[in-house]
Structure 1
Amino acid sequence: MIKWRQWWVNLPFSKATLIPISVLSLVMLILYYSGQWTASLDEWVYHRTSILAGESWRLLTGALVHHDQPHLWLNILGLWLWWLLFIEHLPSWRDWLWLPVLLVSSTLAMFWLDPQTQIYAGFSGALYGLYAWGAVADTFLRRWSGTAIGIGLLVKCTYDTLYLPSTTDIAFMAHWGGIVAGIAIALLHQRLLRQKRHSAGQSR
């Protein structure tokens, strides 16, 4: 109980860490529930034929909309669980500027590697990317619990890809796209941090 309280107290509660994830959650909620009252949802989902026709914004918005409530709320729950585990690696709102890269990477992976899928909606690919980012960042800090989460993520995606039927609703390629982008961002972020520390050391 004491450890739990210490862990809770050490969470980085600040505007920089709470506002971005709150806004992201709110955007997904608004897009879903407004789409239930209007036909606007069809304008935002990933639709391969429409993207080929020039509606490229769907590569971004398709990762923010959802077809049903369970998928929406599961992704929001997963997002806040990620916040509890890994938000310390994104201490500034500027770090969230990488989010569109994760969003588009997941849908581009669908576009390039899964041409049979015509319609897709969901944040799960980007969410996998966030977890991959956090797991790699934890590994650099020798926090092996994060490493275990990353390994579990890879094992799950590998199992899904190899053993689940192609008719399943799971978007394998979107998940892989998010994971690859998340790992790449984490490695780049780590390199930038090292360069910043090196520059700070030389200026002293």
Structure 2
Amino acid sequence: MLFSFIFAAFDLNNLLEFNRTLVEQGELWRLFTSQFVHANYAHLGLNCLGIFLIWLLHGEYTSARRYAFNVSVLAVWCGLGVYLFCPSIHIYTGLSALLHGVIIWGAVKDTTLGLKSGYLLFVGVWIKIVMEQINGPDASIGKLINSTVAIDAHLIGAIGGTLLAIPLVVTYLKNKNAT
């Protein structure tokens, strides 16, 4: 959140946003940094609210190191995913794709700790993703952030979070079978 606020305060979107043309010209950092800049302060505020809610849900078992690792991996994953699989997206900003991945990882972590709410959260996020794919982006959110909601990026983020959680499931199953 701190980086996102700094980037917004100094109006660094032109330097950091995903810009397909500039990425193709070699500005590869944009694949990563685009996750941390926003269309406007409403967009930033919504994403910060998401971070806060995720931290409330999963903060007690997510160390700063683990969170930084997950965020970094998902930032690269989402940037590459948008580049490779969303050719119609020319400009992209925002944490929401990455946040979908973080919340999926947290939901899986919940399940490995025996919390039934993890299953509900995991399924709920995937239902949201499917509904977005069927119905398209939420127009009211798009109006609020003055940008098109990149629902395909949400899908990419959720897939990334699911893949990132595979080691949790493997460890859980190994420990369960050992007892």
TM more than 0.5: yes
Cα displacement (A) at 1:172: 1.7
Within the alignment, does 1:159 sit opposite 2:159 as a pair? no
**2:41, 2:64 → 1: CA distance?**
30
Q: Alpha carbon RMSD of aligned pairs, Å?
A: 2.4
String of CA shifts for 1:72-107, please: whole Å, max 9, x gaps. 011111101100101233135245223211112112
> Which residue is 1:129 aligned to?
101
What is the SS of the residue equivalent to 1:122?
coil
Structure number, greater radius of gyration: 1
Q: Alignment identity in percent? A: 31
The question of whether the paired residues in 2 share the 8 Å contact of 1:125 and 1:179 is answered with yes
Please list every run of at least 4 consecutive aligned residues from structure 1 whose deviation after the TM superposition is greater than 6 angstroms. Answer: none
| Contact preservation (8 Å) 2:136, 2:151 | no
Counterpart of 2:153 (choices 174, 181, 184) is: 174
For the residues of structure 2 that align with 1:92 and 1:194, how far apart are their CA atoms? 25
Q: How many residues align?
A: 170
Map residues 1-204 of structure 1 onto 2, 5 A cutoff: 25-35=1-11, 40-164=12-136, 169-191=148-170
Structure 2 length as normaliser, TM-score? 0.85
Which amino acid in structure 2 is aligned with residue 51 of structure 1?
V
Aligned AA for 2:28?
S
SS in 2 for 1:109: helix
**Residue 162 (structure 1) shift:** 1.6
Q: TM-score, normalised by structure 1?
A: 0.75
Please tell me whether the aligned partners of residues 100 and 157 of structure 2 are also in contact (alpha carbons under 8 angstroms).
Answer: yes
Q: Secondary structure at the match of 1:115?
A: coil
